[in-house]
């Protein structure tokens, strides 16, 4: 598949941003969820098998028997746990307000506290809490997501600004219930509705770089192969079956 150029990504972004809602392909395959993911890097590939109950994800099992289990309350994911990590999610009126990230064996855990500045802007503060004393220290004060049409289009911190450009197709996890409510640190992985075609990072010293992502889609506009580029080379590839 021909590599998408940066200029084409800009053109695609302008087109999808300016098109009316009727011009954008709608997701009519609401039952489509990923069954298997294969991540190919320079070393041995990793296979992930997903188990679902309808559109609710139950678990994902990696080829090294690393298992991640999910817990729901209604349609919202409240816990994501494995042998070395537990994520807990709390909501107010269906919006994520607190995310606790607990690593096994650590004497602390991290708390992400979200504030909804508007429908399209979400800020959050990351604090580190010492388990024995309950002492809380802010470790990341400035974090801002800007959203549009179900996608994270900008992520700002005190040290960098990352902007994302998207296609108008379905992301692999689009139909997974509750995934659009939890802000993953890598939106090109799961939390956005569409697929990131490129992302540009500008650092506080004004240096910047852009990486691209290309896709092969099935007949229902879900990606079956994703190539992640670092510069001109493919860093790794994801393959999905549904």
Evaluate whether residue 113 is within a structural domain. yes
Looking at residue 187, what is its pLDDT?
A: 55
User: Residue 79 falls within a domain, yes or no?
Assistant: yes
The pLDDT assigned to 13 comes to: 31
User: Is 1 contained in some domain?
Assistant: no
Q: Are 22 and 221 in contact (CB under 8 A)?
A: no
C-alpha–C-alpha distance, residues 128 and 140, integer Å: 9
* 17 phi, psi to nearest 5 deg: -75, -35
Query: How do the pLDDT tens digits run along the chain, 242 residues long?
Result: 333 332 233 233 323 333 333 344 555 578 999 999 999 986 789 999 999 999 999 999 999 999 999 999 999 999 999 999 999 999 999 999 999 999 999 999 999 999 999 999 999 999 999 999 999 999 999 999 999 999 999 999 999 999 999 999 999 999 999 999 998 756 555 688 999 999 999 999 999 999 999 999 999 999 999 999 998 899 999 999 99
Contact predicate 104/87, CB 8 Å: no
Total structural domains within the chain: 1
Q: How far apart are CA 29 and CA 12, in angstroms?
A: 23
HSE, side-chain direction, 13 A CA sphere, residue 29: 16
- Identify which of 202, 215, 118, 190 has the alpha carbon closest to the alpha carbon of residue 163: 202
Specify if 137 maps to a domain.
yes
Assess contact for 161 and 153: CB atoms under 8 A: no
Position 231 in a domain = yes
Domain span at 182: 6-20+27-241
- Within a domain: 129: yes
Identify the pLDDT of residue 43: 75
pLDDT at 28: 56
What φ, ψ does residue 54 adopt, rounded to 5°?
Answer: 70, -125
| The predicted structure's pLDDT at residue 189 | 54
Q: What gap in Å lies between CA 33 and CA 51, rounded to an integer?
A: 10
User: 225: domain CATH number?
Assistant: 2.40.160.150
**In-domain check, residue 208:** yes
Identify whether 115 is part of a domain: yes
Q: How far is CA 119 from CA 95, 122, 144, 149, 151, in A?
A: 11, 8, 13, 11, 12
């Amino acid at each position: 598949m021909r590599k998408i150029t940066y200029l084409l990504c800009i053109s695609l972004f302008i087109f999808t941003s300016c098109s009316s809602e009727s011009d954008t392909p709608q997701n009519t395959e609401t039952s489509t969820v990923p069954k298997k993911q294969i991540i190919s890097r320079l070393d041995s590939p990793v296979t992930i098998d997903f188990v679902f109950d309808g559109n609710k994800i139950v678990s994902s099992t990696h080829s090294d028997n690393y298992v991640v289990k999910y817990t729901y309350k209604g349609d919202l994911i409240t816990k994501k746990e494995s042998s070395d990590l537990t994520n807990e999610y709390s909501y107010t009126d269906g919006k994520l307000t607190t995310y606790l990230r607990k690593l096994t064996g650590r004497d602390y855990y991290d708390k992400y506290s979200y504030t909804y500045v508007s429908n399209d802007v979400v800020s959050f503060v990351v604090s580190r809490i010492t388990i024995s004393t309950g002492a809380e220290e802010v470790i990341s004060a400035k974090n801002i997501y800007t959203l549009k049409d179900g996608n994270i289009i900008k992520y700002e911190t005190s040290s960098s600004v990352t902007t994302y450009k998207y296609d108008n197709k379905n992301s692999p996890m689009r139909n997974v219930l509750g995934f659009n409510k939890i802000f993953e640190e890598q939106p090109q992985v799961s939390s956005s509705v569409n697929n990131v075609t490129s992302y540009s990072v500008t650092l506080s010293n004004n240096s910047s770089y852009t990486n691209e992502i290309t896709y092969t889609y099935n007949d229902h506009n879900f990606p079956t192969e994703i190539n992640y580029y670092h510069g001109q080379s493919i860093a790794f590839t994801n393959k999905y079956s549904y």
